[in-house]
Structure 1
Amino acid sequence: MLDDTLLDDPAALRRADHDRALLALAGAGARVRTALRLADAAGVDRLRPDGRPRSVLVAGHGSALTAGEMLAALAGTSTLVTPLSPADVAAVPRTDRSVAPPVFTDGLGWQLPGWAGPLDLLVISSANGGEQGLIALAEQAYARGCAIVVTAPAGSPLAGAALQVRALPLPYVPPNLPDDGTPPAGPATEPDLPAEDPAALWAHLAPLLALCQKLGVTQLPYDAPAATADLLDATAVRCRPDAAAYTNPAKSLAARLAGTVPLLWAEGPVAGAAATRFAAQLADRAGRPALAGLLPQVLTAHRGMFTGQLGAGADPDDFFRDRVDEPDPLHLQVLLLRHAPAAPGAGRPGERPAGPEAEEEGPAEVPADDESPRGFGVSRAHRLATGHDVRLTEYASARPDPLHALADLVALTDFAAVYLGLAAAQS
């Protein structure tokens, strides 16, 4: 079990943070600003053809693919946004591992849909820039007549291939971590599958947003991407390691999830993208399983969990069981994420009306006894959890802009996943 006192020990957290994940998350806002500036300098407004494409295809893996899924949530029904997942399509030749260790992306390939053509835009994004499958995809798109944009590190093979296929090259912004003389040492992982930079998502998403805003794919306000950087900075201040757990929402959420199997429920596509991201981060950063889904259909999908072995009332003889030499049992914990824009003068969800300073806060934890209006799915979720004695914690972002609500929810849960992983490693 987690010793939550470790969350209030900044020195212990720094010692456990071998790959500087907290520093990387703290620098997410700066990476967004840099990515937007470099995308503007690269000429995103000069992409041809002009106007909104028929569809936007986003190819990559890891956070790059997550960025495509978030763009789809933000675009809604205005434009078809299709993330392209990789497939295992080729055998990797045997090599001398002492000279060239295996790489996870070797042998992965991407395939354009059969309908993709000159009316469509392909965006390829990579933090490494060495994936041969993505290079082959760029060549395939060039042969089909697609417009192509490539985000990759400068000087990488993928960046070079972008010039060959007349793609618009956008630079990938790496983390800018302080140099203290010792290289960051990542946690023990498979040699060909290193842990991903937790803030890489924003380095992929920022140029994608700048591009799609120019083309009219998203209906975001003009200054929405730039303002997102300020929101990420504000979250980094609230969730900093030296902030006590009772004032740090990410530490509080991490402590609440310890010793549980989280069910991450979401209302709407924006919160759904944040829940999917949180499940991936809990697995990657904390080694914890979590199930994510959208209301109301997730109630049917997860219904059996409430009456199974993890439910609060699953064992009627639990009172007579000898617990002296047994670990504490795992129980379900429902985390409900929502984008709930507040009406003018209505205040934040679960709170009384507040002044303008409320806009500087992140997503609010909604009290269990909150009586504000709820949708059908949210009301059913509360009734199901209450009826089975399962704790439900609700976080809602009241920001009217969907991108800012997404940044609120993702930034908080990213920090929570890292804190949970660091504290569990030290307990």
Structure 2
Amino acid sequence: MLDDSLLDDPAALQRADRDHALLALAGAGARIRTALRQARAAGLAELRPDGRPRGILVAGHGSALTAGQALAALAGTGTLVQPLPPVDALSAALFSDGLSWQLPGWAGPLDLVVLASADGTETGLISLAEQAYARGCAIAVIAPEGRPLAEAALQVRGLPLPYVPSATAEDEAEQPAGAAEPDLPSEDFGAFWAHLTPLLALADRIGVLAAPARELEATADLLDELAVRHRPDAAAYRNPAKDLAAQLAGTVPLLWSEGPVAAVAAERFTAMLADRAGRPAVAGQLPEVLSAHRGMITGRLGAGADAGDFFRDRVDEPDPLAVQVLLLRHTPPEEGTADGGAEGTGNPAEPPSAPEPGPATPTVRRARRLAADHEVRLTELAGTRTLPLHALAELIALTDFAAAYLGLAEQH
């Protein structure tokens, strides 16, 4: 059950946040800056590509895969970008040790394989590096320095790019062995940006998309601003992330998205709700989700409690679960208007005004009508920045903090 009082008690939130999730989120901007600095030190600026690759394969698991999805969304259709998940999980002492990957049959000398890992010890990724080398693929590795995967990059003539660990990594490493279930590993909350930053810097260098250092630094500044906006000591009624967490209590959220950027944020939110709050959510993209989720809208969860048994005693019953729709969109301002607050409000402590939903497509109008017809709450979460990367940061910051607050309040 959600403890609403905890959301307005910063000291209690700090005590409940034993794995420093809120601190990791607040440090996202700093990790982008550090990752950029270390990528330059690793020699990325001296890279002289022969041309743009035919395809980019991003291999990893967890946030590394989500970073690959984000790169695909931001790159568009100019270059094939394919996240490469593990294909098997063999018995091993640690979950990551048993994972294995396989290159698709078409991968070859025209393609770039990026191996991304926050741990840097996965033997399956090292084997994949050998596969890629045998096929003549270009190789890049995002992993902590000194780890086996980073060292393997040198053996296969790959480009090593450092992974920036969280500021709390040492504290997490000091936890006793066996404290966590080895087959259910918990991931660093800020790993997404530590993976995505060197991936974007590399993509910019090889001409896949325009992501210059100044744009990434502006993203870091934006994440700093959003961290202040969603900070623990901001009252719930002035903190959009706390408000969203409270709204999610007692519901099964249907995360509908319009466009590739919003789809990445919805998938990320699904994973964070499961990992940090132990809550199920179902994600899908418009317009196909309107038919795929229709049964949940029109069924018992959509209708709420059983109205046919109106006179039964409900005093000792828990609140019934109900579905609600969160519609994630990228709604940049129209040409000639203000940039949705891209430069900040001037006072990040002030509560943000709710962004205008923006021009609605016919599909969005249909989604709103479907929810209204069945009395299902629909809330729109809008990334209003013009640049897709900044809109992605806006959506992910809000939903990451909301997942963290929901988990802390329900487990307190």
Q: TM-score, normalised by structure 1?
A: 0.90
Residue 67 of structure 2: SS of its match in structure 1?
Answer: helix
The answer to whether the aligner puts 1:36 opposite 2:36 as a matched pair is yes
Aligned to 2:192: 201
The answer to whether the aligner puts 1:277 opposite 2:263 as a matched pair is no
Q: Deviations over 1:365-389 (max 9, x none)?
A: 457xx7x531112111110111111
Aligned to 2:300: 309
What does residue range 134-153 of structure 1 map to in structure 2 within 5 Å?
Answer: 134-153=125-144
2-structure distance, mates of 1:114, 1:297: 30
Aligned residues: 410
Task: Report deviation, 1:42.
Answer: 1.2
8 Å contact 1:122–1:141 — kept in the other structure? yes
2:101 to 90, 96, 110: 110
Aligned to 2:163: 172
Aligned to 2:406: 420
Q: Deviations over 1:252-282 (max 9, x none)?
A: 1100111100001111000000000000000
Aligned to 2:239: 248
- Give the counterpart letter for 1:408 in structure 2: E
Task: Report deviation, 1:219.
Answer: 3.5
Aligned to 1:97: none
2-structure distance, mates of 1:269, 1:119: 25
Residue 83 of structure 1: SS of its match in structure 2?
Answer: strand
Structure-2 change in CA distance of 1:307 and 1:326 (3 Å): same
The answer to whether the aligner puts 1:214 opposite 2:205 as a matched pair is yes
The worse-fitting range, judged by mean Cα deviation, of 311-320 and 328-337 is 311-320
1-structure distance, mates of 2:268, 2:35: 21
- Give the counterpart letter for 1:298 in structure 2: V
Structure-2 change in CA distance of 1:335 and 1:132 (3 Å): same
Residue 256 of structure 2: SS of its match in structure 1?
Answer: strand
Residue 149 of structure 1: SS of its match in structure 2?
Answer: strand
8 Å contact 2:142–2:195 — kept in the other structure? yes
- Give the counterpart letter for 1:4 in structure 2: D
Task: Report deviation, 1:358.
Answer: 4.9
> What percent of counterpart residues are identical?
67
Query: Aligned-pair RMSD on alpha carbons?
Result: 2.5
8 Å contact 1:44–1:211 — kept in the other structure? yes
Task: Report deviation, 1:360.
Answer: 8.3
Aligned to 2:310: 319
Aligned to 1:59: 59
2-structure distance, mates of 1:363, 1:64: 31
Q: Deviations over 1:26-77 (max 9, x none)?
A: 1111011000111112122444643211111100011111110111111110
8 Å contact 1:118–1:147 — kept in the other structure? yes
Aligned to 2:375: 389
Residue 272 of structure 1: SS of its match in structure 2?
Answer: helix
Residue 232 of structure 2: SS of its match in structure 1?
Answer: coil
Aligned to 1:95: none
- Give the counterpart letter for 1:86 in structure 2: P
- Give the counterpart letter for 2:393 in structure 1: A
8 Å contact 1:340–1:396 — kept in the other structure? yes
8 Å contact 2:256–2:328 — kept in the other structure? yes
2-structure distance, mates of 1:13, 1:172: 29
Aligned to 1:98: none
Q: TM-score, normalised by structure 2?
A: 0.93
1-structure distance, mates of 2:318, 2:237: 26
Structure-2 change in CA distance of 1:82 and 1:364 (3 Å): farther
Stretches of structure 2 that go unaligned for 5 or more consecutive residues are none
Q: Deviations over 1:289-330 (max 9, x none)?
A: 000111111111100001212012673314323211111101
Q: Deviations over 1:185-220 (max 9, x none)?
A: 899641343311110111101000000011111244
Structure-2 change in CA distance of 1:37 and 1:182 (3 Å): closer
What does residue range 23-102 of structure 1 map to in structure 2 within 5 Å?
Answer: 23-47=23-47, 49-88=49-88, 90-92=90-92, 102=93
Task: Report deviation, 1:106.
Answer: 2.3
Aligned to 2:255: 264
8 Å contact 1:18–1:187 — kept in the other structure? no
Task: Report deviation, 1:154.
Answer: 1.0
1-structure distance, mates of 2:153, 2:78: 28
1-structure distance, mates of 2:172, 2:366: 54
Residue 399 of structure 1: SS of its match in structure 2?
Answer: coil
Structure-2 change in CA distance of 1:178 and 1:199 (3 Å): closer
The worse-fitting range, judged by mean Cα deviation, of 215-224 and 383-392 is 215-224
- Give the counterpart letter for 2:401 in structure 1: F
Residue 337 of structure 1: SS of its match in structure 2?
Answer: strand
The worse-fitting range, judged by mean Cα deviation, of 65-74 and 310-319 is 310-319
8 Å contact 1:364–1:395 — kept in the other structure? no
Residue 265 of structure 1: SS of its match in structure 2?
Answer: strand
